[in-house]
């Protein structure tokens, strides 16, 4: 397929912004929409095509915006609807699309719908949520646990029933079997589509439908004591249900009322199940988010297998995508170390499929230690001892060497990293060998070479710590060789029978080097070779 025939989200690179942490414009220590608008030039320079914003709707912020109390407004912490419109306008002016994070599975317990719903058993909104009687002994209706630990059921004294919440108890799950709920949520989607958003990232979407009979989940045979408590059971009856596809198809119909809009789904599912969310003919989600690199142990054997299993299972009509990190998982620079973080960035930006970058990963920002008195994420408290808290990967973007890394003139809601005077955009932009320079150049290379967007992917057999593959279009071929270990390695090219020249390496010091016969890599090194 010629690259001109691809849609914007197939050609593009998506950049996830955690709005609280990108740029604070008014000194309250919390990032906001005008702050994002003021940094669009940076994103244009970086070369990304779309921003996905974690939730910005009004919220009591128990789960920092993933507990929505009004689907059709902006939380005052982030600004106003006018600020939103301005941001969208300014983004579009720079050819940057805007992807809105929509939270369909649950609302805040402060949403007027839930406030109504819990008033009485015969309230018209009662059935908008999942209410159920206790068992005869007073215990919850079934054994389902919350993803954030503890029972998924909370008892309501006033109406003497339990309600279900997949996440915190302040996040009651909506009842998607109720047509009124569906209609209200589709109207909320239209509200943002009308304002010009180019797509949605649908939050926690694999939990949307639950077993109507509320059957108990089975124990997980793989469970061991060091796993988080929510892994004790297999989520057989409260997640990934086939009747979900009806609902998702309806959401796609809503998106299809507009031109060229994208639906991404957050789905932590095995590869085979993930593929089902494209729909049998690609009629459901265009992009079921692929977290398989993010969850995989970082060694060549597993990464090779993961890439090829995903590529092999992908239906012909489906477009692939890759995610390395996000606001719920440790940052790459901490998970695999700074050297490998460069290798990982090269992998993400040269595989076939839309990459999603997480803000500040382009700087190699590590997880930042949060002193216990500054902990914000309640998950740290609901699952103590499991390092479940997500604050370390949500710290402010580091712009320059001024106090608080130029993020805020006030006190940031989470601390910046101790080495921010050098680990920042301004410093790295001026350093020809920095992580930012490397990613900037990789992105530029990807944008200028259609083979890196749409070229055929093929693995090159390798062993040891190497991951190698080619990307080929009719007129250009590239070979990527990545060393996932810290010792030097060599790949023989005799089988491939090709030679070429290095166009980019992770340390930015081998450009132009001729390659034939074999290629040697230092530890933690990756190279992109243009084949003759």
DSSP letter (8 states) at residue 260: S
Of 24, 32, 49, 63, which lies in the binding site for ligand GLC, with binding defined by CB under 6 A?
63
Distance CA 485, CA 299 (A): 8
Verify binding: residue 176, ligand GLC, rule CB under 6 A: no
d(CA 102, CA 203): 6
Number of residues that bind ligand GLC (CB under 6 A): 9
Q: Rg of the chain over CA atoms, in angstroms?
A: 23
Is residue 328 involved in binding ligand GLC (CB under 6 A)?
yes
Query: What is the dihedral sign for C-alpha 432, 437, 438, 443?
Result: negative
Does residue 362 belong to the site contacting Ca ion (CB under 5 A)? no
Going through 254-327 in order, the beta strands assigned E by DSSP cover: 262-265, 287-288, 321-323
Q: Angle between the 244-256 and 179-194 helix axes, to the nearest 10 degrees?
A: 30
Q: Which helix (H) or strand (E) is 302 found in, with range? A: helix 300-313
Query: Which residues have a catalytic role annotated?
Result: 203, 257
* 203 near ligand GLC, judged by CB under 6 A: yes
- Quick note: the x/- pattern for ligand GLC over 265-304, rule CB under 6 A, is -x--------------------------------------
Distance CA 136, CA 145 (A): 19
Residue 380 interacting partner from Ca ion, ligand GLC, none (CB closer than 5 to 8 Å by kind): none
Nearest residue to 97 via CA among 14, 178, 31: 14
Give yes or no for residue 245 binding ligand GLC (CB under 6 A). Answer: no
With CB under 5 to 8 Å by kind, the binding choice for 30 among Ca ion, ligand GLC, none is: Ca ion
**Cβ neighbour number for residue 225 with a 10 Å cutoff:** 6
Q: Which CB atom, from 78 or from 167, has the smaller least distance to ligand GLC?
A: 167
In the region spanning residues 25 to 64, those forming contacts with Ca ion, defined by CB under 5 A, are: 26, 28, 30, 32
Nearer Cβ to Ca ion (51/276)? 51
Nearest approach in angstroms of CB 440 to ligand GLC is 27
**Does the footprint of ligand GLC cover residue 167 (CB under 6 A)?**
yes
83 near Ca ion, judged by CB under 5 A: no
Lay out the sheet containing 161-164: strands in order across: 131-132, 161-164, 153-156
- Kindly tell me which of 18 and 128 has the beta carbon lying closer to ligand GLC: 18
For ligand GLC, which is the closer residue by CB, 229 or 406?
Answer: 229
* Nearer Cβ to Ca ion (28/211): 28
Binding partner of 90, given ligand GLC, Ca ion, none, CB within 5-8 angstroms per partner class: none
- Gap between the terminal Cα atoms of the chain: 22
In whole angstroms, the minimum distance from the beta carbon of 330 to ligand GLC comes to 14
Neighbour count for residue 445 (Cβ, 10 Å)? 18
**203, interface contact from ligand GLC, Ca ion, none, CB < 5-8 Å by kind:** ligand GLC
The secondary element (H helix, E strand) that includes residue 100 is strand 97-102
Site string for Ca ion, 281-310 (x = CB under 5 A): ------------------------------
66 near ligand GLC, rule: CB under 6 A:
yes
CA distance 12 to 272: 25
The closest alpha carbon to 174, from 221, 131, 213, belongs to 131
Interacting residue ranges for Ca ion, rule: CB under 5 A: 24, 26, 28, 30, 32
Interacting residue ranges for ligand GLC, rule: CB under 6 A: 63, 66, 103, 167, 203-204, 266, 327-328
């Amino acid at each position: 397929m010629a690259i001109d025939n691809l849609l914007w989200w197939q050609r593009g690179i998506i950049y996830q912004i955690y709005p609280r942490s990108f740029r604070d414009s008014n000194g309250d220590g919390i990032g906001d929409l005008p702050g994002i608008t003021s940094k669009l030039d940076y994103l244009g320079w970086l070369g990304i095509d779309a921003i996905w914003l974690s939730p910005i709707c009004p919220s009591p912020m128990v789960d920092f915006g993933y507990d929505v109390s009004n689907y059709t407004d902006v939380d005052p912490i982030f600004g106003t609807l006018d600020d939103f419109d301005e941001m969208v306008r300014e983004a579009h002016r720079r050819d940057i699309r805007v992807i809105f994070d929509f939270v369909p599975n649950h609302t805040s317990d402060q949403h007027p719908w839930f406030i109504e719903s819990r008033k009485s058993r015969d309230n018209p909104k009662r059935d908008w949520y999942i209410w159920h009687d206790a068992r005869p002994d007073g215990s919850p209706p079934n054994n389902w646990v919350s993803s954030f630990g503890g029972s998924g059921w909370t008892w309501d004294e006033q109406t003497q029933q339990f309600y279900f919440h997949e996440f915190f108890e302040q996040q009651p799950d909506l009842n998607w079997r109720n047509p009124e709920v569906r209609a209200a949520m589709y109207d909320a989607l239209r509200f943002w589509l009308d304002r010009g958003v180019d797509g949605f990232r649908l939050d926690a979407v694999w939990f949307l439908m639950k077993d109507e009979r509320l059957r108990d989940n089975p124990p997980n045979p793989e469970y061991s004591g060091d796993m988080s408590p929510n892994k004790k059971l297999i989520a057989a009856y409260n997640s990934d249900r086939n009747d979900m596809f009806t609902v998702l198809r309806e959401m796609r119909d809503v998106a299809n009322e507009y031109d060229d809009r994208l639906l991404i789904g957050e789905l932590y599912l095995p590869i085979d199940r993930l593929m089902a969310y494209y729909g049998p003919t690609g009629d459901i989600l265009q992009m079921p988010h692929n977290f398989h690199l993010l969850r995989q142990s970082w060694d060549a054997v597993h990464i090779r297998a993961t890439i090829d299993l995903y590529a092999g299972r992908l239906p012909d009509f489906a477009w692939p995508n890759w995610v390395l990190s996000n606001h719920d998982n440790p940052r790459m620079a901490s998970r695999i170390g700074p050297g490998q973080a460069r290798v990982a960035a090269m992998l993400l930006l040269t595989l076939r499929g839309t990459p999603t970058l997480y803000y500040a990963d382009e700087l190699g920002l590590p997880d930042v230690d949060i002193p216990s008195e500054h902990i914000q994420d309640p998950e740290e408290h609901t699952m103590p001892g499991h390092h479940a808290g997500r604050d370390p990967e949500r710290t402010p973007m580091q712009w320059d060497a001024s106090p608080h890394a130029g993020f805020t003139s006030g006190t940031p809601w989470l601390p910046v990293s101790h080495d921010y005077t050098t680990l920042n955009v301004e410093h790295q932009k001026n350093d020809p060998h920095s992580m930012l320079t490397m990613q900037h150049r990789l992105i530029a290379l990807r944008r200028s070479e259609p083979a890196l967007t749409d070229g055929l992917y093929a693995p090159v057999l390798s062993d040891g710590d190497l991951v190698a593959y080619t990307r080929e279009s009719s007129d250009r071929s590239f070979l990527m060789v990545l060393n996932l270990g810290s010792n030097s390695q060599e790949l023989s090219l005799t089988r491939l029978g090709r030679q070429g020249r290095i166009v980019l390496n992770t340390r930015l010091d081998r450009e132009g080097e001729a390659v034939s016969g074999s290629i040697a890599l230092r530890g933690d090194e990756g190279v992109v070779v243009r084949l003759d």
